[in-house]
Amino acid sequence: MKEKLTSCPVCKKSAFSDYLEVQDHFLSKENFIIQSCDGCGFRFVNPRPGADDIGGYYQSDAYISHGVKKQDLVSIIYRQVRIFSIRKKFRIIRSLQPSGNILDIGCGTGEFLAYCRSRNYAVQGIEPSEKAREFAVSVNGISVSEKLDATLFKPGTFNCITMWHVLEHVHELDLTIDTIKSLLAPGGIFIAAVPNSNSWDASRYKNYWAAYDVPRHLYHFTSETMQTLAKRKGFAILKTIPQKLDAYYVTMLSEKYRTGRTNYINMMIYGFWSNFRAKTGGKGHSSLIFILSPEKAQF
């Protein structure tokens, strides 16, 4: 069953305009409407599958590998990029919080948390996927809960809470951010990585842009709308960091959706161009990492 939103998830105004119709290229082949708030410009799927029905749109072995080590070229490259990405994420956290407790919401199979634990952080995960959760527990030895629930932890437990490309998936946006705020320790930080729907590659591929990923991605952030949301929820954005490698992966999938085949040459050309344009007057990189704090602390 689909639910129709009557107020903007970011600014709470109730006037919307249709922005784009996008097909679920990945799985169902259904079409979904992305609307734009007339007040703040936030883009979101509307109507959307309800929380009890969205699970069916994740039912694919390709969506989460659960650590299966395929030997094709893309999988090998992906694993190397993932190792690089994990280390970069860790360096961001260490530069802001040299020690402490980390909660990763949407931790998947737990590789990121396992790496942080090996560097002497205390770690905890949240992961709704049963298979991914079991892998994180049995293989990586991570303590993982199924859902984010404020009653599972004492207020102020975590020095750092992360959502690496997860915020765009959650139905209860306000409740999620309120819970995160309550669980942060004094001086704690919230890190959210999301696709940027104002990026050059989004404008090039339009309804074929892979990072729309409807209906799994319910929301489509920009720097401006993330700022609006943060302000309303009592957060300050301390820093914005680009995820430059995401442009290549998103471009590769977008080319495949648009043409029906994988084109590595175009992936390299347009991935590079997207990052170049982000530096030369564009509206940001393909994906952005936002460092937020409920306190206007300086790091």
Please write the tens of the pLDDT for every residue from 72-122.
666 777 778 889 999 999 999 999 999 999 999 999 999 999 999 999 999
Name residues of the chain where pLDDT drops below 50: 65-67, 297-299
Q: Which domains does the chain have, with CATH numbers?
A: 71-293 (3.40.50.150)
SS3 label, residue 151: helix
pLDDT tens, residue by residue, 186-222: 999 999 999 999 999 999 999 999 999 999 999 999 9
Collapsing DSSP to helix, strand or coil, 136 comes out as helix
Burial of 228 per CB tally in 10 Å (0-12, 13-18, 19+): buried
Return the pLDDT at 66: 42
pLDDT at 81: 84
User: Taking a C-beta distance cutoff of 8 angstroms, is the pair 104, 144 a contact?
Assistant: no
**Residue 126: beta bridge partners?**
105, 145
**Strand 16-23 to 31-37 pairing:** antiparallel
